[in-house]
Amino acid sequence: MAAVAHDRLARARLCAAQVEIALAAGQPEVAARACDELERTASTYGSSGLEAAALQARGAALLAVGRAEAALPTLRAACRRWQELDAPHDAARVRVALAGAYRALGDGDAAALELDAAEAVFQRLGAAPDAVRVRALRARPALPGGLTEREAEVLALVAAGRSNREIAEALVLSSKTVARHLSNIFAKLGVASRTQAAAYAFEHGLATPSHG
């Protein structure tokens, strides 16, 4: 029994890492499955650390598929858990994700506050690479329409006349993921066709792949 518990707890750590890797690779389905397993393990063992990690992973996964509104309370809960556990670095990492959610929802002021708080913690802890990343995020202008960076990349390729298959190949994504991004883009921009989406891209200076 102890060996089974050890294996599940070891896998939980791997699941948390797998979420980050899958999201970076544009594989939200893989990330979602890893989140599911991490949440089950956290529920089984009642570990506050695992619960915080599960909330952080789920929030990141929701944000990656354009569900910033759902990601926000989940990430807030993760930040509170890490703070209660006196894990400032983990809490600061969640604040960076929170900034992304606020930006996606068009709240630049709240995003800036989260980045400021995260950078202060990283500097205090001597986490220089994390602090540099925050400064880079702060310097990056918010995208119009509440678009995420990945959505802006997809939109730029739509404006360039690329098909879903071509976009998937260019961004190393699945066709299903591209279709989901397009659905989110259409909803956020209030458009009903690729032509209208392309027109929006040209009007707002997003019609070039360099906006990723």
Cα separation of 9 and 55, whole Å?
A: 16
Q: What is the mean pLDDT of the chain?
A: 88
| Angle, in degrees to the nearest 10, between helices 28-45 and 48-64 | 160
Cα separation of 47 and 12, whole Å?
A: 11
Q: Is 58 left (phi over 0), alpha (psi -120 to 50) or beta?
A: alpha
Residue ranges covered by each domain of the chain: 2-142, 147-211
Cα separation of 188 and 198, whole Å?
A: 14
Selected from 1.25.40.10, 1.10.357.10, 1.20.1270.360, 3.40.50.300, the CATH number assigned to the domain covering 2-142 reads 1.25.40.10
Confidence of residue 81 (pLDDT cuts 50, 70, 90): very high
Exposed/middle/buried for residue 75 (C-beta within 10 Å: 0-12, 13-18, 19+): buried
CB of 29 within 8 A of CB of 70? no
Q: Is the pLDDT of residue 1 over 50?
A: no
Q: pLDDT tens digits for 89-117?
A: 999 999 999 998 988 787 888 999 999 99
Whole-model pTM: value is 0.70
Q: Does domain 147-211 have CATH number 2.60.120.10?
A: no
